[in-house]
Structure formats: structure tokens, C-alpha cells
Structure 1
Amino acid sequence: MIAPLSDLTEGPDLDVLSDPRASSDPLASARAQLWDHVREGDELAATRTVRAAVEAGSGFESVLLDLIAPVQARVGVEWAANRISVAQEHAATAINDRVITLTADAGLPLPDTARRRGRVTVACVDGEWHALPARLLAEVLRLRGWQVDFLGAHTPTPHLVRHLHHHVPDVVALSSSIPTNLPVAHAALTACQAVGTPVLVGGAAFGADGRYARALGADAWAADARDAADLLEQGLARPKLMLHQAVDDLPHLSDQEYSMVARSRGELVREVLRELEELFPPMAHYTAQQRQHTAEDIAHIVDYLATALYLDDDGLFTRFLDWTADILTARHVPARSLLIALDVLGRRLADFPRATRVLDTARDALGARQACPRTGETV
């Protein structure tokens, strides 16, 4: 395993986007051009393309959500398919972020309109570094006349709560792209609700249908920035002030399996890495960088296992491993190394019934994949 999974941008749900050139909508050509420019790292050309779309009559909100957002989504897909490098992915994201600033500022409403709408705090949960989806929401809300406090990436929960006490927004919008941030997101949203502020959540971490938002007790969930803005216009009721523990929403946490796996993360990673070196011969020829990436991959596997235990959702872990197998295949690494990792974890966690169930479910899915490999996959 040598895929640097920490660089993923959209989580495990990475369906290949259709070619924007094939679309018949007015922004199809602009999406194709913007993609070419961000892939090449040409910020000036990217800016010209976006400005041209605005001058051609596309609304500012449409430019943000129907031009820039799909191109950014494609950045993640192309990285996952190993068609662009990590450096290209970072550069493209940075360009899109700067283009958003140039675009949104030109379409902001007058300040008195913002005061009439209300106030929203937009933040990424602690540990979430992918801030562009939250940034898009913040800009859309500003365009619609809201006063927005955008706190950016990786907002520690105590800092967020302190902000709420000082500024008393009408609602908090929390963003997370990576499912392993969901335990922290749960703590953040319950802390916000405890001071009487309703919480709208969004991002790939919460599931394509919002299932994890409901499981964690969020006041609302939105699939994208446009839906989130529409929901906020309808208004969210303030929650009742009350002390709230994670186990109140997720009673299965009382068995302590999540806590035990999360606390033993370092030991589990070391054990899997040690046995993988013995049982997976190709590792003997790995470079130092490849070994580092492998250790990071194993850490992600343990993190996703812990998150599956937190939510009591076997499918979350299985989907992650299936996505990881796709990443490894794109990088010409045999996906069977994942089975070795599952076997080691299974032996270490044999006394944990839910962990055993999650691992067995994933092992069966991977075994079926090995029996019927996908095109181009090495078994």
C-alpha cells in the first residue's frame, strides 16, 4: 500500500464525472476551459474564464456552484485515478479558492441587506482541512444577503463555542468531507446545540443521503450549498438548552469498542505494519517514502474502523476499503495487501464482537472483489 490517502478531497464517494465538454448547459464550455487552466496551474487564465462567464450573464451563484464547484470535484476524482499529482491537486484547489474571492466579492449585496437576513457562522469541524465546500457555502449565503462569519478549516470546538457566545449567530453551518471526522463533528454540533444554536451540517462525511447527520442529531442537513441556503431561508428552530452526551444519540457506544480501538490506534498501526512487512514480499523493495505512505494508509484503515464502530455502520468501512482498493489499483499496487491488514486487525480485536463483525463484512466484500477483479486490477 503506497497511496497517500490523507490527500483525498471528497471522501470515498468518487464516481467519475462526465466530461464537461459533453454537457449542453451554458457553462459547459467554461467548465472545460477552467478545468484545463487549473490542471495546468494557470491562475490568470482561470480568472479570465470565470470573469467571462459572469460577463456573459451567468449569475454569481451559478458561477460558484455550477462552474467552480464541479471543476473542484473533478480535481479530487482525477487525483484518485492517478491522473494528476498531489502537487497539481493542491495547486488547482488554491487557484479555485482565489478565483472564488474574485468572483463572489463582485456580487455581494449591500450591507443593510445582510443585516435584514440574519447571521450565520460557517466552519469546518476540528481536523477538517478541506475548506473549499464550506467557503462556497459562505459565499453563496453572502450573495443571498446573510451576514456570514466564515471561520475556515480546522476549527477547534472550544473556539467555535466561544465565537457563538460572543456573536450569537442564528445558526451554525458545519462542514466535513472526511467520515473519520464524524466523532469530532458530533461533539461540535452537540456543543453548539447546548448553547441554544441550531446546527446545519453538510459535506461528504455525512453521507450522500444525510444518514450520519440524522444519526448524530443535527438540526438539518443539506446535500449542497444551494440546498443549504434554501433551508436557511426557511429558518431553523433553536434547540432546547440541555446537556447531551454522545451515548444519548448512539447507545451502542456504551460497549466501549470505539474508545478502545481509538485509544490503541498507534499500537494497531505498528502491529499491522510489522506483519505486512513479513507477509507482503513486495514491501522489501519499497522506498522510504513508500513505507511512509503505507503506514499512513494503515492509520486511515484503523481510523475508518473506529468511525464505523462509532456509528455502528459496517458499510462505511466496507465502502472505504473498496475505494482504497481502487486507489491502490490506480497506482499499480496489489489490493490483496488490504486482506492482510484485515487479518491482522481481526486477530488483535478478536474479543470485540462489533469490530469482528465489521472486519468480517469488509473481508467478504474484498474477497469477492479478488475473485472477480475489476478491469486493470492486479490480484
Structure 2
Amino acid sequence: MTRDPDGALAGAYAELIRCLADADEYAATDVALGLLAAGVPAERVLLDLVAPAQAQVGRWWQANEWSVAQEHAATHISERVVAAVSSYASPRPHRGRVVVACMDGEWHALPARLVAEVLRLRGWHVTFLGASVPAAHLVSYLHRHDAQAVALGCAVPMRLPQAHTMIEACRRADVPILVGGLGFGADGRWARRLGAAWAPDALAAADLVGDEEALDTPSDGASRLADDEYPGLVQRRGELIDGALAALRERVPATRDYTPAQLDRTVEDLGYILDFLAAAVYVDDVTLFDEFLDWLVQILTSRGVPAGSVGATLGHFAAELRDFPRARRFLTAGRRILVPAAGG
């Protein structure tokens, strides 16, 4: 084993970042394999090299320093590096089966893949189902294959309603479940709301997965999730987007000349606002919507879109949702948050 794994990892990180920027998957793989050959544990290569490098890629995309294409290319390379590490260090499983998957609609699969590989290194027989697994398909798989636990990843909170469906489906299949990812909040608060054990990282997931008592987590407020506002918002989503787009064209005439690509992006952003609002209503937590707005403003301002345009859209939605008191309250609070952002 190398005498200075921390130093080796620090040097390798800078080298891997260069490989990701150059879209050089062969050199990137060589960086990881070189560490393994020098005796750096595979777990550390995954968690202290690949994971932080991919997080940096995400920050560059958010700051508009990297395009979507660059981010996708880097993510593909990171996945290739993980596959190479997995092939190099491939211990035979001596523990039970764990199924790892992403929530229905969740396409950020790399974090869940890292968890799967850490579990595999710890001796578990791991089945990785990948991105966006529908609840019915997951349950069908669990009926065919005995599993000691299911680990589900969610990177964005707007998928929490789908997460709840999957959590409940696993419970009905009598399979213990744990969840992870920023989609459940930085402190796991929404995991607890949905009644699931939460792991802040892959190491915590590896510790939790075999602890059935810890996985038996009661909900701290699931009864509040069953009301009429969430399904009403989902039902009116298309109508609300169309109305907000028409209002935007009236308010900002330049938007009438948008290219098809600009129009698609605008419709997508309007949909995100409604999806995060619906998720916040679902878990009854305004901070979910507030945190999304902070993120959205950072994204838009880095791309030259004024924050004030978001505030006006929130006002339009609030006027349309007169029979949705919680949604209106969240929208009003969101507009207050956007005032200083617009002024800055």
C-alpha cells in the first residue's frame, strides 16, 4: 500500500479533473487504476477521487462555466472510471442481496452507482437497477429475487412524491429500505417525513444496510401528505404552464420572438417551478421551495436572466391558485426571497 494515500489522491484529483475537462476517458481510467496499483483502497478511489471530481463538474455547470454537453461527457467518463475500479477490485459476495436503484424520474444515477460499488466492496451481493426505476417494476423485481434491503437514491426534491410511492411499495413487499441523496434534504429531513432511514453518504449507507432495526423508521408526518392540494397541482400543471407563458409574453414582448429552443427551455423552467412547488406542498415544508428558488436564481443569473422574471411568474401562479392556500403561502414567501436577489 502507498505510504501516502492522501497525497496520491490529491495529485490524482488534479489529474482526473484535467482528464474530465479534456474528455479523455482512457487517461481518466489510467489515473484510477494507477492509484489501485499503488495500493490505494478501491473505496477511497471511488469516494475521495471520483465523487468529488464529479461534484466539481456539477458546480461548473451550475455556474455556466461548462455546457450541458461537457457535463454529460464528464459524467460518462466518471461512470467508465467507476466500472474500471469495480472490475479491478471485484470481491466475491459473502453477504445478502441488496438492490440499489434511483427513484422513478431520477436520472442522476452516478451517486447511487457509487453506493452500489461501496456495498459490493463490503461483500454484499448488489443488484444495481440504474436510473428512473418505476415503483411497479421495482416491486416486481423484489418478488422475483429475495433482497435483504433496498437502497434508493434521489438527487432532486421534486421527486419526493415518487419517492414516497416507492418507499411504501417496498414496505408492502416487506423489504427494509434506506434512502440517500440531496433530494431528501442535506440533513435527511424529508426522508424522515416519508418514513425512511436516510444515509448521508455511501459509508453511512454501508453501515446502515445490514441494521434492520435502524431501517425500521416510522414517518414523522406522512398523514399530512394525503390532502387535495398536491393532486390538484399535478392535474393543473399543463394549464398553469400555458397561462404563465402567455402572461410572460404579455409582460416581456421580447419573449414572443424566442427560438424553439428558448421556448422549450422556458416551458421547462416553468414546469420545474410547479414541480418543486408541488413537492413542497406534498411534504408540507416551505423550505424545500425556498431552497429551489435560491438554486434557480443562481442558475438563471449565471445565464443572464434577471431574478425579477421569476418573481413575476410566482405572482401569476399565486393569482391562479386561489383555492390552494398552502401553495399560495409558499409562492408568497418565495416572492419575498426573490426581492433582494432581484435588487442585487
**Which TM-score tier does this pair reach, normalised by the shorter chain?**
over 0.9
Q: Matched residues in 2 for 1:322 and 1:61: separation? A: 34
Q: Would you say 1:203 and 2:181 are equivalent positions?
A: yes
1:249 is displaced (CA, Å) by 4.2
- Structure 2 Cα separation of the partners of residues 133 and 202 of structure 1: 9
Q: Which amino acid aligns with 1:64?
A: L
2:153 is the alignment partner of 1:175: yes
In the alignment, is the contact (CA less than 8 A) between 1:176 and 1:205 conserved in 2? yes
Aligned residue for 2:163? 185
Partner of 1:17: none
Q: Distance in 2 between matches of 1:307 and 1:237?
A: 26
* Contact preservation (8 Å) 2:209, 2:215: no
The answer to whether the 8 Å contact 1:279/1:340 transfers is no
Q: For residue 112 of structure 2, what is the aligned residue in structure 1?
A: 134
Query: 2:77 corresponds to which residue?
Result: 95
Residue 45 of structure 1 pairs with residue 27 of structure 2: yes
Secondary structure of 2:209 counterpart: helix
The correspondence for 1:152, drawn from 119, 130, 133, is: 130
- Distance in 2 (alpha carbons) for counterparts of 1:102 and 1:137: 15
Matched, 1:119 2:91: no
Deviation at 1:79, TM superposition (A): 0.5
Determine if contact 1:257/1:352 at 8 Å carries over to the other structure.
yes
Give the counterpart letter for 1:31 in structure 2.
Y
CA shift for structure 1 position 369: 2.2
- Equivalent residue for 1:341? 313
**Which position in structure 1 is the counterpart of 2:3?**
none
Question: Is 1:230–2:207 an aligned residue pair?
Answer: yes
Q: Hey, what's the Cα distance between the residues in 2 that align with 1:268 and 1:250?
A: 27
Query: Matches of 1:118 and 1:236 in 2, distance apart?
Result: 16
Partners of 1:159 and 1:292 in 2: how far apart? 30
Any unmatched runs of 5+ in structure 1? 1-23, 374-379
- Deviation by residue 1:80-100 (Cα, 9 ceiling, x = unmatched): 101111111111101110111
Which residue is 1:19 aligned to?
none
Residue of structure 1 aligned with 2:63, choices 70, 81, 84? 81
SS of residue in 2 equivalent to 1:172: strand
Give the percent of matched residue pairs that are identical in Structure 1 and Structure 2: 49
User: How many residue pairs end up in the alignment?
Assistant: 339
CA distance in 1, matches of 2:309, 2:302: 14
* Alpha-carbon distance between aligned partners in 2 of 1:211 and 1:292, rounded to the nearest angstrom: 33
3-state SS of 1:83 partner: coil
What letter matches 1:362 in structure 2? G
- C-alpha distance in 1 between matches for 2:193 and 2:254: 41
Matched, 1:353 2:331: no
- Looking at structure 1, the residues matched to 287 and 236 of structure 2 have their Cα atoms a distance apart, in angstroms, of 22
Among candidates 299, 324, 345, match of residue 271 of structure 2: 299
Partner in structure 2 of residue 6 of structure 1: none
Residues 178 and 215 in structure 2, CA contact (< 8 A), matched pair in contact too: no
Matched position secondary structure for 1:88: helix
Alignment of 1:261-340 (within 5 A): 261-340=233-312
SS in 2 for 1:154: coil
One-letter identity of the residue aligned with 2:37:
E
How far apart, CA to CA, are the structure 1 residues paired with 2:334 and 2:192?
24
Q: 1: distance between equivalents of 2:52 and 2:215?
A: 33
- Encode CA deviations 1:224-267: one digit per residue, 9 max, x unaligned: 11111122244446769xxx9x9x94333444011101111000
Contact 1:171–1:236 under 8 Å retained in 2: no
For 1:327, the aligned partner's letter is I
Measured after TM superposition, the shift of residue 336 of structure 1 is 1.0
Kindly provide the amino acid, as one letter, of the partner of residue 113 in structure 2.
R
Q: Normalising by the residue count of structure 2, what TM-score does the alignment of the two structures yield?
A: 0.94
* Residue identity matched to 2:205: A
Which letter maps to 2:50? I
Separation in 2 of the partners of 1:36 and 1:235? Answer: 42
Question: Are 2:93 and 1:105 equivalent residues in the alignment?
Answer: no
Residues 173 and 199, structure 1, Cα contact 8 Å, conserved in 2: yes
Shift, 1:324, TM fit: 0.6
Shift of 1:287: 2.2
Q: Do the aligned partners of 2:103 and 2:162 also contact (CA within 8 Å) in 1?
A: yes
Q: Which amino acid aligns with 2:171?
A: Q
The structure whose RCO (Cα within 8 Å, separation 6+) is larger is 1
